[in-house]
Amino acid sequence: MKATELKELSVADLQELLVENKATLSKLMINHKIAELENPIQIKNYRRTIARIKTELTSRNLEVAK
């Protein structure tokens, strides 16, 4: 998911998306440890998406604090 798409979502939606992506990432990591994934690049993509979501949430929290 791109940063521009994340800016359009509400804070509640971002938090829900963050929980979903973290759960998916943990499942992928466990499956990757057990057996090789077809597309291990998915792990990198989920990590980056989680970082983008956290960045957007942090920037919104800073805006509210001002």
Q: List the chain pLDDT tens, one digit each, 66 residues.
A: 888 999 999 999 999 999 999 999 999 999 999 999 999 999 999 999 999 999 999 999 998 887
Ranges of each domain in the chain: 3-65
Nearest to 57 by CA among 14, 13, 2: 14
pLDDT at 66: 78
Answer yes or no: are the C-beta atoms of 18 and 50 closer than 8 Å.
yes
Q: What's residue 43's pLDDT? A: 96
To the question of domain 3-65 being in CATH 1.10.287, the answer is: yes
